Structure formats: structure tokens, C-alpha cells
Chains A and B, each alone.
Chain A
Amino acid sequence: MLLVLALLAIGTTFSVASATPNKSAIALARSAAIEEGKQIFLKGCSSCHGLNAEGGAIAPSLIGVGAASVDFQVATGRMPMADMSTQAIRKTPVYSPEEVAALAVYVASLAPGPEIPGDELLNYERDGSVAEGGELFRNNCAMCHNFAGQGGALTQGKYAPTVMGVEPVHIYEAMITGPQSMPVFSDKIITPEEKLSIIKWIKFAEAEPALGGASLGRVGPVTEGLLVWTLGIGMLIGVAVWLAMKAR
């Protein structure tokens, strides 16, 4: 009798405990990721950002920056920063995509913040409009990143980098997290659909062939003037010298 009751007790406990297998599996996976992220963080980030990501003199607090910030900064290689110079440069990422994901989960666990946009949210081909994106880009982005997204100078040696060759997810994340000097573009100010239009336009500009010939950097009249003063007048003076030379 005791044995039957014991078996019943164990069976009921077990069935209750395994009634929600997905939730706990997810919770288990999540806490594993957070732990992994925390370990990576402690090893590679805490020396500047503090043991609890509270920030310090040389690095800001990461509490509340959200998974999107982490994905942007680390997956584009900006973080860890190579040297404490004026601003973080895009470079080859130090961490693998899995490590980045773990870091993001960890930092997101500290406090709510912008999330990494899922693929469904990033279907710019379907949901964006190139023309609208161009208008939005010129209105909100060109003043720092130049009319063709080639980048531009900010004060004191800082700069807005080129937006060419950037993953759509990172472009999106930059807009919602406002990394370093870049301001934040809230979803009510530039709606998610408008953000996709911007991305679509950027991708279009990236793929756009040189319609009139070599694009000379797409930075405007400065390089055009340089070309005419070097190759241009050089060719003409070359012919002029030949013209006036006595033939053999």
C-alpha cells in the first residue's frame, strides 16, 4: 500500500513538473545563454564597462541599452574597442555570432531595452519603398552620412561612417539605439516601415552602378576638381608639349 502511494506521489509530481516542458526548456536555455554571455562579458567587456555593466569613467553603462545595442556594437566589430581613440571603428568582429547572441541576451537581462529586430521585421524588399526611403535618408541621415551614404566628418575628429556594406539588421539597430554620436530615431518619429524604406534605399544605392562613369567617391565636387587638375589638365599639357616639340 505504501509503495503504491509512493509511486502515485512520484508519478503525479513528475507529470506536474513536466506539464510545461517547453517553458522550462526555454528558461533553461535562456539562463544558460545569460550565463555564457555573462562569462564573455566579464572576460572581454567588464574591464571598461564594469563588473555589473554599470559603466565607469571610460565606458558608459550598458544597463538598459538592450540586445539591439550589443548586437550592433559587437557584431560590427566596433566593440571591443581597439584603442581609446575618438570613436569606435567598424572592423572584423572579435566574437562569433553565437557569442554575440549570448552577450546580447545577457545585457538585455539587466534591464529592458531595444530588442534585435527579427527577420519578419526586416523584410525591406516587401515592406519598404525606395523613393520614400531616399526622401527619408536625405531628411534624416544625409547631413551626417552624406547624400550617398558615404559618411561625413563630425567635430573633433569624430565621423559618421559610411552606411555602405552594412547588414540591414545593423542599420536598423543603429537607428533605434543611436550608437555613440548618432542620435536615436524613435519608432514614432521614423516608423518601422519608414526604417525599412531607408534600408531599401541604402541597399539600392549600394547596388547602383556608376551611371555616368567612375563615381569618384560620391563625395561631390572636391574629387571632381582634383581629377580635372591632375588627369585633365595633365593630358592637355602633355599634348601641348608634344605639339610644340620639334619633330625628329
Chain B
Amino acid sequence: MAHEIEAIQDPGIPPHVHRKADTDPVAAKQAERQVAILFLLSAFGTILFIVSYIAIPDDIFVFIPVMGSTNAHQLFLGLGLAFSLFFIGMGAIHWAKTLMPDTEVTVQRHEFRSAEEDRDELVKTAKEGAAAAGLGRRSLIKRSLGLSLGLVGLSPLLLLRDLGPLPGDSLTKTSWKAGTRLVTDPGERPIKPEDLEVGAVAQVLPAMLPGQDHRTLANIGKDAVLLIRLRPEEFNLDAERLSWTHEGIIAFSKICSHMGCAVALYEQQTKHLLCPCHQSTFDVTRAAKVLFGPAARPLPQLALALDSEGYLVAKQPFNEPVGPSFWERSS
């Protein structure tokens, strides 16, 4: 279809239009001065930078509209550097635009495809080389070469084995055992039921073992628990889960079952827990059942009991792995 229609002709590159500075020496001088001013602005910027670095103390704050109260040292250091760089650029560009030749140049492209003789030469050289190497005929060499190269490629992978331990059952275990006391985070204070009012929450960790003075972040990342107190009649739980609560106090793993962020946003009126990362919403009255968002599983619930001194303890470890899902997780 296209070749039947006669196309409009290419009129060619339009005639060159000269700039003022090309023909008028006064305009050229003016352009030169403008370029010089731009370069001088850059020099000023560098001086501002040096002076700021040396002379402005770093605890003074100045008020700039829109920005607010800003650190003067930081601001003038930055502005000085910015000026010094920006105006060199602007000077160079203005110089090119106004004074350097702007006549368009036309150059022919060359074809990429190599000449036929070159291509034939290459094929001939390649074939001769391959024949000389004898790979084609000597299949034993070819196969054993393939085997040895393949094996060599595998060996570095083996070196990566010690990047980390095997997961083992690490993902299924936390520090919570039967009788572990719940303590406030931070503060390490054990908690009695009467310490919590209805509607109260507490960020909770398992009490440290005797002799332990420090928790690793890996421990916190599995052990963090949220304690919430409701009225017992507000629960909508089966008998077993209800037995894991104590006088309206219920405990959940704080590590989101979706991707592991801390779920601690408790809406007291709706009794919902919201994870701020991806907006998964859990219903506390129904054992953290997922109401909205991408989480597929409820938060694991920690069974609570009282110890002999009246402090809240875990009745047993979590009955399922906490945190995000993984292949080996059976539910």
C-alpha cells in the first residue's frame, strides 16, 4: 500500500539561521560577558563553600520560609557547593550555545553489516580453526572437556555452603516455654493481671533466663508478643482458645504472619489489630482472624496462665511457628 502512494518530498535541511553573536561583535562580546558572569558565580559559590566550612559553627540555626529552622552550616555548605557546580555547567552550556558554531553537520551512517568477503573469511577461519582443534572429530575430548568444565563451575558453589547454618527447626521455636514470665518491653517488669486495665495493651517479651543479660534482635524478632485486655464477654473464641486467655487478657505474637513486621496497632474500639506495612487487619476477639489485607493466617496466640506469685506466664510454647510462612510450614 505504501509504495503506491506518492510521498511528499524531503525539502532538505533548512538554510542556517545565524545567531546574533555570529554576526554582531557587540552581541558576541555580550555573550562572552554573560559566560564570564556565570563562571564567576561559580567561583563565588566555591568561596561560600570554603567560608561555610571554616567559619560557620554547626550549631546555628536560621529560619528560612518553607524550610523552617535550618542548620546554617549545612545549608550554606550545600548552597555554596551547589552554586559552584551549577554555574560552571551553565557557563559552559551558554558558551556552547551562543559562541561555538551551531551549524548543523551532516555525516553519513555506514552499514553495520560487514562486507561479504569479510564474513566469508570469518567463516573460513572459524571452520579451519575448529577443524584444527579437532573438536568435531574427537568426541572423547569434547565430552571430557564438557565434564571437567561443568565440574569446575560447580566447585565455587560448594564454597558458599558456610554462608549460613541450615534452618533446622529454628523457625519453629521461640524462647517461650511453659512458665516463662511476660515482662514489659522496655523495662523488664513482670506483669500481673491487675496491672492492665480494660482496653490496655502492653508490649511484652519473655523474661530473660538467669545468667542472660541481653537479647539478640533475632530473639526479639520471634519472641515479641502483644498483650491486650478486653472484657471476657467480648471474646468470640472456642473453648480451647478461651482457656488460653486470662480474665479478658489475651496474647498474640507481635510478628505479622504475612511478612514479619511488628503488628501492634490496636484499635481499642473495634478490637482490631492493624499491621502498618501492608494493612493486614486482625480481629482480636476471634483469635486474630484475618479480616482484610494480604495476610493469609491469623497471628499465633500465646496461651496465658498465672504463676504462683500472680504474674502472667506462658502456659506452653506457641502451638505453631511465628512470623511469615515458609515452605516447610505445614499449615
Q: Give Cα A245–Cα B184 distance, bound, in whole angstroms.
A: 66
Q: Which residues of chain A from 137 to 163 have a CB within 8 Å of any chain B CB?
A: 139-140, 143-144, 152, 154-156, 158
Q: Are A181 and B199 in contact (CB under 8 A)?
A: no
Q: Which residues of chain B from 268 to 285 have a CB within 8 Å of any chain A CB?
A: 268-270, 272, 274, 276, 279, 281
Q: Is B296 an interface residue (CB 8 A)?
A: no
Q: Are B268 and A182 in contact (CB under 8 A)?
A: yes
- Give the contact stretch, choosing among B138-146, B156-164, B190-198, B210-218: B190-198
Q: Is B127 an interface residue (CB 8 A)?
A: no
Q: Is A186 an interface residue (CB 8 A)?
A: yes
Contacts A178-B199, A183-B200 known; A209 to B61 CB distance under 8 Å?
Answer: yes
Q: Are B200 and A184 in contact (CB under 8 A)?
A: yes
Q: Are B196 and A186 in contact (CB under 8 A)?
A: yes
The closest CB in chain A to the CB of B62 belongs to A209
Q: Which residues of chain A from 175 to 207 have a CB within 8 Å of any chain B CB?
A: 178, 180-186, 188-189, 191, 194
For A242, list chain B residues within 8 Å (CB): 93
Choose from A136, A210, A246 the contact partner of B69 (Cβ within 8 Å).
A210
Q: Is B165 an interface residue (CB 8 A)?
A: no
Q: Is B304 an interface residue (CB 8 A)?
A: no
Q: Are B267 and A158 in contact (CB under 8 A)?
A: yes
Q: Give Cα A232–Cα B120 distance, bound, in whole angstroms.
A: 53
Q: Which residues of chain A from 187 to 240 have a CB within 8 Å of any chain B CB?
A: 188-189, 191, 194, 209-215, 239
For B47, list chain A residues within 8 Å (CB): none
Q: Give Cα A181–Cα B266 distance, bound, in whole angstroms.
A: 8
Chain B's interface size range is 35 or more
Encode B13-25 as 1/0 by CB contact (under 8 A) with A: 0000101110000
For B54, list chain A residues within 8 Å (CB): none
CB distance from B263 to the nearest CB of A (A): 8
- Give the contact stretch, choosing among B70-78, B106-114, B129-137, B232-240: B70-78
Q: Are B71 and A209 in contact (CB under 8 A)?
A: yes
Q: Give Cα A186–Cα B93 distance, bound, in whole angstroms.
A: 66
Q: Are A184 and B61 in contact (CB under 8 A)?
A: no
Q: Which residues of chain A from 40 to 84 have a CB within 8 Å of any chain B CB?
A: none
Q: Is B262 an interface residue (CB 8 A)?
A: yes
Q: Give Cα A79–Cα B203 distance, bound, in whole angstroms.
A: 30
Q: Give Cα A143–Cα B254 distance, bound, in whole angstroms.
A: 12
Q: Give Cα A246–Cα B100 distance, bound, in whole angstroms.
A: 12
The closest CB in chain A to the CB of B31 belongs to A247
Q: Are A183 and B68 in contact (CB under 8 A)?
A: no
Q: Is B66 an interface residue (CB 8 A)?
A: yes
CB distance from A105 to the nearest CB of B (A): 22
For B231, list chain A residues within 8 Å (CB): none
For A154, list chain B residues within 8 Å (CB): 265, 267, 274
Q: Is A135 an interface residue (CB 8 A)?
A: yes
Q: Is A23 an interface residue (CB 8 A)?
A: no
Choose from B89, B187, B267 the contact partner of A194 (Cβ within 8 Å).
B187
Choose from B68, B90, B187, B265 the contact partner of A143 (Cβ within 8 Å).
B265
Q: Is B189 an interface residue (CB 8 A)?
A: yes
CB distance from B52 to the nearest CB of A (A): 14
Choose from B19, B192, B264, B279 the contact partner of A246 (Cβ within 8 Å).
B19
Q: Is A248 an interface residue (CB 8 A)?
A: yes
For B267, list chain A residues within 8 Å (CB): 154-155, 158, 181
Contacts A181-B270, A183-B266, A189-B195 known; A211 to B74 CB distance under 8 Å?
Answer: yes
Choose from B69, B200, B279, B281 the contact partner of A189 (Cβ within 8 Å).
B200
Q: Which residues of chain B from 170 to 229 have a CB within 8 Å of any chain A CB?
A: 184-187, 189, 191-192, 195-203, 228
CB distance from A184 to the nearest CB of B (A): 4
Q: Give Cα A140–Cα B71 distance, bound, in whole angstroms.
A: 30
For A185, list chain B residues within 8 Å (CB): 200-201
Q: Are B19 and A183 in contact (CB under 8 A)?
A: no
Q: Are B189 and A188 in contact (CB under 8 A)?
A: yes
Q: Is A243 an interface residue (CB 8 A)?
A: yes
Q: Are B268 and A178 in contact (CB under 8 A)?
A: yes
Q: Can you list 24 A-B contacts (CB < 8 A)? A: A136-B186, A139-B185, A143-B264, A152-B276, A154-B265, A154-B274, A155-B270, A155-B279, A178-B199, A183-B268, A184-B198, A186-B195, A188-B189, A188-B191, A188-B192, A189-B195, A210-B67, A213-B67, A213-B75, A214-B66, A239-B93, A245-B97, A247-B21, A248-B19
B interface list, Cβ under 8 A from A: 17, 19-21, 31, 61, 66-71, 74-75, 78, 89-90, 93, 97-98, 102, 184-187, 189, 191-192, 195-203, 228, 262, 264-270, 272, 274, 276, 279, 281, 292
